[in-house]
Amino acid sequence: MAKSNYNFKDINGKQRVIIENVKPVINCGQYPAKRVVGEKVTVTADVFTDGHDAVKAVLLWRLAGKKKWAEVSMNFIGNDKWQAFFIPDQQGKYEYTLIGWVDHFASWQHGLKRKFEANQDISVELQIGKELLSQAASAGSQNKPKLETMAATLEKANPEEAVKMATSQEISQLMFNGVTKQNFVQYSKILTLEVERKKALFSSWYELFPRSTSEKPNGHGTFKDCEKLLPMIAEMGFDVLYFPPIHPIGKVNRKGKNNSTTAQEDDPGVPWAIGSSEGGHKSIHQELGTVKDFEKLVKKAKTLGIEIALDYALQCAPDHPYVKEHPQWFKWRPDGSVQYAENPPKKYQDVLPFNFETEDWENLWIELKSIVEYWVERGVNIFRVDNPHTKPFTFWEWMIKEVRKKYPETIFLAEAFTKPRVMERLAKLGFQQSYTYFTWRTSKHEITEYVTELTQTDLREYFRPNFWPNTPDILNDHLQKGGEPAFIRSLVMAATLSSNYGIYGPVFDFGINTPVAEGKEEYLNSEKYEIGHWEWSKQTRIREIITLINKIRRENEALQTTWNVQFCDTDNQNLLCYVKSTDSFDNKIIVVVNLAYTQTLAGYVKLPLWKLNMPYDTPYQVHDLLTDEKYTWNNEWNFVELNPFKLPVHVFRIEEESV
């Protein structure tokens, strides 16, 4: 035989399988997909070959650093698409990839069965099968005796018995576990997965200003005052208590009440204008207490199941110590003045942004990372990051990775109300949770379109939404005009559509909805600029619903993930209906929302019974967990009525599928 002149060093002509369209893959494998401990990782791919031969595929996965791969057989789901899943049981980095191969034994089985059913002679096919079994046995399979016995039986059995044995599940599994993976093809990449603690996926946030917690009408709140409120917050069902910045506040260019550029002597300033002669990002505002007071508060909160989250705001007041100690970290204008923050037409004269393009950027990065580490060492594992979209992506990717190497429990929430691609990039490079556009999505079309985008596209693999009906910066038009029904409606949607949600209280608890001016989303007399005083013991209907909805979330596993929402048809455009179910269908929740502000709505909603694994033509019972009322429903379409002044929402649990 003539010797080939071609160099086939990088080609294996016996490898015939193609593997493509693997999911999840983030940026061609540049970034990891995300899950929490115990959350299913479903991997799909197109796996196919030329001709009519059968193919097989296996999902391989392992904890990064381990040598041995775990194997999961992939299932064929149609049109050359294969699927398998695994469930990570601990935090850390995981790796996964796929292999595929031509399965000659399965191809033989298929041909044998077709020929037998067509009453054709299969004697030669049975000889081929015997050879395949004998080859597998002689190749060192641990099932060698069984394979040899089957090979001998195949030769002696009558055609009907031979076909039955040759196509049995037992023989297929033996051959699959044996030496059938000859000339396999491995997917071109080893992909990565970041597995985090469960709170990254399921959490309830409550935001308050510590300086507004004093029981005295004109007093400045302290950490000790905050500590007194912990039982109330735990009783309401929140597991994250988020504080805006707790650091010294700058005196230079301090803002006054309602964002006035002229501060009065007793104006406390904006907490995000961080730093003064009293200290910077690693210091505590003197009137709040000491570091020991703060550490005591953190420990007390943890005994009640609450974690304290701090604001990580990378900016400085003009009198922050950094400005004198490291002037190279800031921008200086031609007239010798320092550049303050601007987002035209907005001006933030009391805030200086860092210059991330400084020649001294390495030392700047190291110092900014050390701020997070300082507070982690004092018991804080959750950070709400202020405006991360105004800082370099490269910094966040480095900083989050470095912090989580040492402190893997750390969670970062990106407060980035900005362009979609920017928000997505921040999530890809490491942020565990992200603010969203939820608060501005109010119509049925807007809500369904946006939530479907978050949960049914590749976004779900890396972008974990955290729904907030309001923030200190956002008092939306529908809350201003809709009153209590709008607050309750927004709360329930946030808490049931997303497994991570939060509210800015106590203004939410008490239904505060007066804007600073017509057409503005800012609160009048905002706590950003002055100290608030609240009747913390006062009970409101909104607070009762908050407490109840958090209890419902804890008791119903279907509400502890974002990804399982399914929207339902209704006969009224102001009625929104969606369902959530566990994978096992043992917990099924139906939410129906009246999107109108002032009118009672009645109509019909359609449940996708087949998607909920429920039979048709069988009555079932739904239990409204907010009112404790129970109803018997039949088939798909059922009647609902919602008076917004009683309750603008139903939260049903399907409790009996046969009554």
Question: Catalytic amino acids?
Answer: 386, 415
Sorted by sequence, the CB contacts under 8 Å of residue 513 that are 6+ apart come out as 475, 479, 480, 483, 487
Preceding amide of 321 cis, omega within 30: no
3-state DSSP assignment of residue 470: coil
Residue type, 207: E
**Cα gap 272→245, rounded to integer Å:** 6
**Cα torsion angle, 557, 560, 562, 568, sign:** positive
Neighbours of 177 (CB within 10 A): 15
Question: How far apart are the C-alpha atoms of 305 and 301, rounded to whole Å?
Answer: 6
Residue 388 amino acid letter: P
- Please list, in sequence order, all residues whose beta carbon lies within 8 angstroms of the beta carbon of residue 219, skipping any fewer than 6 positions away: none
- Residue length of the chain: 659
**Alpha carbon distance 93, 95 (integer Å):** 7
Q: Among all chains, which residue has been given the structure tokens 């395949």?
A: 132
Q: At what angle do helices 361-376 and 393-406 cross, to 10 degrees?
A: 40
Q: Residues 344, 349, 354, 357: is their CA dihedral positive or negative?
A: positive
Over the range 491-501, which residues count as b (16 or more CB within 10 Å of their CB) and which as e? bbbbbbbbbbb
Are 652 and 578 in contact by the 8 Å Cβ rule? The answer is: no
Whether the Cβ atoms of residue 352 and residue 329 lie closer than 8 Å to each other: no
Secondary structure class of 453 (helix, strand, coil): helix
Which residue type, as a one-letter code, is found at position 25?
A: V
Q: Which tokens in the block code for residue 554? A: 């804890």
- The DSSP call for residue 554 is H
Cβ count within 10 A of residue 189 = 14
User: Is 648 in a helix, a strand, or coil?
Assistant: coil
CA distances (Å), origin 281, targets 67, 196, 243, 367 = 43, 27, 14, 10
Do 460 and 427 form a contact (C-beta atoms < 8 A)? no
CA neighbours closer than 13 Å in the CB half-sphere of residue 477:
7
Angle (CA) 408-494-568 rounded to 5° is 120
Phi and psi torsions of 652, nearest 5°: -95, 145
């009783």: which residue's tokens? 235
The angle, 0 to 180 degrees and rounded to 10, between the axes of the packed helices 123-138 and 169-177 is 40
In this structure, are residues 417 and 435 in contact, taking their beta carbons and an 8 Å threshold? yes
Give residue 75's identity as a one-letter amino acid code.
N
Q: Which residues contact 371 (CB under 8 A, 6 or more apart)?
A: 281, 282, 312
| 538, amino acid identity | K
Nearest-Å Rg of the Cα atoms of the chain is 31
DSSP structural state of residue 474: B
